[in-house]
Chains A and B, each alone.
Chain A
Amino acid sequence: MTLAEKILARASGRSRVAPDEIVVADVDLAMSHENADLVRKAFLEIGVPRVWDPEKIVIIFDHRIPAESEKTAATHKAVREFVRQQGIRHFYDVGRGGICHQVLAENGHVQPGMVVVGTDSHTTTHGAFGAFATGIGATEMAGVWVEGRLWFKVPSTLRIEVEGEFAPWVSAKDLILYIIGRLGAAGADYRAVEFDGSAIRRMTIASRMVLCNLSMEMGAKVAFTPVMEIAPDADARYERVLHINLDYDLPEPQIACPHSVDHVRPVSALGEIPVHQAVLGSCTNGRLEDLEIAASILRGRRVHPQTRLIVIPASQRVCLDAMRLGYLETLIEAGAIVNPPGCGPCVGVHQGILAAGEVCISSTNRNFIGRMGSKDSFVYLSSPAVVAASAVAGRIVHPEIVMAKEDAHV
């Protein structure tokens, strides 16, 4: 069996499962962010007095923190009260956590082999820890809060084996953008994705999280990178196996152009694209290694006068570590503004909204029409290195162009 099949078999009390079967699986962890308020409302409508297991529910505020409006403040308040009433211990309020996927990971909530559901589409991120982790809606989560289980169609699995060495300035983000560009926005729809190969096994956990996070953007139900504790069977059946060799397939950074995540081009094919805003952060790329590479590019340089750089550490812990290591100092000296940990402009609700006609280079995960503000703005997705270099250059560039120049402005 594949990893997805193994985990669903265990969670549904079966010895074997096969693709397209429907199983009812026990949920090990149920995560929500601010939409816990929608879940709460649906739960109360159902009329069951207590959640099935308050220890298995985690609630993390991240989409609108600190509250940007009275409306949000009221929903935050309602969730806090519900959390207290229900005895939900794993609650991360403003200033105590950060972006949900990062906070779950940092606090050891996710273990290999778990079934994790979250009311956030990027819950696939937790496949980096060997969990069957997938996004669901708020009403469905209310059902989980009542019953502690959920039906799943067993997905078929797409295996992606990656060998070779990353070229300078090319990273996990470029790899997954390349794969999404090749397979398309629906290329892994309803499917599990297993990443493996020597290049994946050399990657940091943070980089593996990038692959699993963005697999959602090609429709994946779940994604996995290898862990010690659970492995697919040697005779596991795959719908398709894709081989990628970084040496040949990925010579340079990749950019997802407006307005679709699968509209991917190598950076050298883009031409001259001036950027008004650069965003470094999100559940995709707001981790310490992302801030580190940005700081290495911006050290001794300045953000271009026509460009603003917004940096959003993924969590309180990332923020604190980046501060202690001097990354934030470097970024601020270069002219960046550092926002509190959270989702901010990625979800298009606060802290860096785009005006009509503006162009943004962003380390986030979606470039849909109007995603980060005006429907007439343009979002290009890239790695943190390209975001940082483009912030210096004032246009989308390969980082080597910025690093080759002594002068601050290129």
Chain B
Amino acid sequence: MSDASSILCGRVAAVLGPNIDTDIIYPGRYLNITDREKTAEHLFELAYPEIRSKLRPGDFIVAAANFGCGSSREQAAAALKFSGCGAVIAASFARIFYRNAINLGLPAIVSPSAHLECSEGDELEIDLAGGLIRNLSRNLSIAAAPLDPRAIELIRSGGLIPYLKAKYASAPAAG
């Protein structure tokens, strides 16, 4: 069920190793920031501060296994999303991060080999529903797991909040 709205195009902003934990993505000291947009200011602040300046809207972060391990803090996914990251591609994700990303409308794509077949600056085309990544810079096809239709629906809605907002639109406003 590939269609234009599930194709993402962008550039690889960084290729990271395994076990990129939530403290690396978003330090605990900023957990009392509850403005989702403001979380972007602290993305990768302690370990990889250079990524933030390199990340352009629509860019991808590519990583090895177990991306997002650790805390349930959704600021980790929010910081990526509001920094303009178009998608995270990893060999595997820690489950809470994965759910947080999808619930915030940030595509999280599982690809066992993308971190080996992409370099910083490569242009990629990702077919979310079809489960395929094309590395246009290297003329390579890279296998990825198709995103679950439920996840694609949430991403198209902009995340769980807009999705539920639409679902309960007829309910009276919160008092």
Contact = CB atoms under 8 A, between A and B. Distances in A.
B168 A219 contact: no
Contacts of B27: 348, 370
A121 B34 contact: no
Contact of A369 (B23, B94, B104): B23
Interface stretch (A87-95, A132-140, A288-296, A318-326): A132-140
B166 to A, nearest CB: 10
B113 interface: no
A189 B95 contact: yes
A69 to B, nearest CB: 7
A369 B24 contact: yes
Interface string B142-173: 00000000100000000111001100110111
Interface in A144-160: 146-147, 151
B168 A75 contact: no
Contacts of A304: none
A370 B24 CA distance: 8
B161 A142 contact: yes
B66 interface: yes
Contact of A219 (B29, B66, B74): B66
Interface string A55-89: 00000000110000101100100000000010000
Contact of A190 (B34, B74, B95, B169): B95
Contact of B46 (A64, A219, A366, A375): A375
Contacts of B18: 186
Interface in B17-68: 18-19, 21, 23-24, 27-29, 31-32, 34, 46-47, 65-66
Given A121-B70, A186-B92, A347-B31, A47 B65 contact: no
A169 interface: no
Contacts, number: 137
B141 interface: no
A347 B28 contact: yes
B134 interface: no
A72 B32 contact: yes
A46 interface: yes
A165 interface: no
A163 interface: no
Nearest to B102: A140
A185 B69 contact: yes
Secondary structure at chain B's binding surface: helix, strand, loop or mixed? loop
Contacts of A49: 171-175
Given A189-B92, A375-B46, A139 B150 contact: no
Given A38-B74, A136-B99, A46 B164 contact: yes
A118 B174 CA distance: 23
Interface in A138-197: 138-140, 142-143, 146-147, 151, 185-186, 189-190
A189 B174 contact: no
Nearest to B100: A137
Contact of B74 (A34, A37, A137, A147): A137
Contact of A121 (B24, B72, B165): B72
A151 B69 contact: no
Contact size range, B: 35 or more
B47 A137 contact: no
Name the residue in B74, B92, B150 with the highest tally of chain A Cβ atoms < 10 Å from its Cβ.
B74
A152 to B, nearest CB: 10
A368 interface: yes
Given A72-B32, A138-B74, A368 B160 contact: no
Contact of B69 (A64, A120, A147, A219): A219
A45 interface: yes
A34 B31 CA distance: 9
B94 A189 contact: yes
B95 A45 contact: no
Nearest to B171: A48
Contacts of A43: 174
A139 B70 contact: no
Given A45-B165, A49-B171, A139-B161, A221 B95 contact: yes
Nearest to A78: B34
A121 B65 contact: no
Nearest to A374: B46
B103 A140 contact: yes
B116 to A, nearest CB: 17
Contacts of B32: 34, 64, 69, 71-72, 75, 349
Given A121-B96, A137-B73, A368-B23, 8 more contacts: A44-B174, A45-B161, A119-B72, A146-B164, A186-B19, A186-B92, A369-B24, A369-B47
Interface of B: 18-19, 21, 23-24, 27-29, 31-32, 34, 46-47, 65-66, 69-74, 77, 92, 94-96, 99-100, 103-104, 150, 159-161, 164-165, 168-169, 171-175
A-B pairs with the 5 shortest C-beta distances? Answer: A137-B74, A137-B100, A186-B66, A370-B46, A348-B28
7 contacts: A137-B96, A137-B99, A143-B160, A185-B19, A186-B94, A375-B46, A375-B47
Interface of A: 22, 34-35, 37-38, 41-49, 63-64, 69, 71-72, 75, 85, 118-121, 123, 135-140, 142-143, 146-147, 151, 185-186, 189-190, 219, 221, 260, 347-349, 366, 368-371, 375
